[in-house]
Amino acid sequence: MTKCSNIIAGCMSWGKWGKQFSIREMITQIQITLEAGITSFDHADIYGDYTTEQEFGIAFSKSGIERESIQLISKCGIQLVNNARKTKTKHYNTCKDYIIWSVEQSLNNLQTEYLDLLLLHRPSPLMDPKEISEAIYQLKERGKILDFGVSNFTPSQVHLLQKSIPVSVNQIEFSLTQHEAMQNGLLDQLLKDEITPMSWSPLGSYFKENNKANQRIKKALEKLAKKYKVTEAQLLLAWILNHPSQVIPVIGTTNKKRIKNAVESLEIDLALEDWFLLLERSQGHPVL
């Protein structure tokens, strides 16, 4: 896989779908992220109803930062209901011509000549591996993308694509509160095939929901935070970073201190029993 930073900045909330940063604020956010040691920025064409990539591109072009010093990731395939695209039904499009067109749109919006990594955002029940591979090989030959992966694909869907095109990344949901990927064979398959897992929503529901599982987790995290002298969020990241598949978290925070903390979580040496303690609290029972 093209080299990315060990923590990735997720840009979904930078624009219309969240913080609504001005161009000046977005420049500052890029600088804050880089100063923390994060050089990879995760996008998708749909973010901000197809507006965030363009805003980021304007900001980056004005920042004076060299393109070679960062990695740009983007995704395509989801078609939202949108007047500008004249779509009336949400659907997936993985046709060759569409993938190529979508990448060209992202390149124009991001004001760059290439993407370090392109991901298919969601698997389509109508996807044709041969057609997808034709698009990806063409984009690679033209220098439009350096690497290719997927997002939210099951092991069987990854295997289907692998017959026609190498898959370097699968960006999946994985956290202490949503760890199904460890039980359904997904992380096993990624580890076996040496495919890099990226984790979206790496903190899970812990800071969003006050349910019984999170209450159990909280009791353990409060004690472990004192033991390791770190924050609860850092421990949640350390938990997924402990997996041997070498998961790369995609963090959504834009808070300077939290970004710095996320990078520092890479240094936490979580003891084996503490890792299992957190899993136990999440599941509500000891491992079987």
- Which amino acid does the sequence have at 26? M
Query: What's phi and psi for 201, nearest 5 deg?
Result: 55, 55
* Per-residue model confidence as pLDDT tens digits over 203-241: 999 999 999 999 999 999 999 999 999 999 999 999 999
Strand-pairing partners, residue 8, are 40, 250
Number of domains observed in the structure of the chain: 1
Does residue 204 sit within a domain?
Answer: no
In a domain, 180, yes or no: no
pLDDT of residue 83: 85
Tokens standing for residue 101: 């067109």
Annotated catalytic residues are: 47
Q: Which residue, 141, 197, 191, 199, is CA-closest to 165?
A: 141
- Share above pLDDT 70 across residues of the chain, in percent, rounded to a whole number: 100
128 is a domain residue: yes
User: In the prediction, which pLDDT does 209 show?
Assistant: 96
Distances (CA, A) of 208 to 23, 170, 181, 223, 260: 29, 25, 21, 20, 21
- Coarse DSSP helix, strand, coil percentages of the chain, rounded to the nearest 5 percent: 45, 15, 40
Q: Residue 16 falls within a domain, yes or no?
A: yes
- For residue 267, is it within any domain? no
Question: What is the domain extent for residue 102?
Answer: 8-173
Residue 145 falls inside a structural domain: yes
Would 210 be classed as within a structural domain?
A: no
Is 91 part of any domain? yes
DSSP symbols for 98-138: HHHHHHHHHHHHHT-S-BSEEEE-S--TT--HHHHHHHHHH
Pick the closest to residue 173 from 202, 193, 148, 149 (CA basis): 202
- 83 Cβ neighbours under 8 A, 6+ residues apart: none
Distances (CA, A) of 17 to 12, 51, 127, 252: 7, 10, 28, 12
Strands 78-79 and 91-92: antiparallel
Three-state DSSP class for residue 163 = coil
198 three-class SS: strand
SS3 13: coil
Give the domain CATH number at 63: 3.20.20.100
d(CA 120, CA 103): 11
Closest C-alpha among 246, 270, 203 to residue 4: 246
| Main-chain phi, psi angles of 169, to 5 degrees | -145, 145
**Alpha carbon distance 228, 235 (integer Å):** 9
Regions in the chain scoring below 70 on pLDDT: none
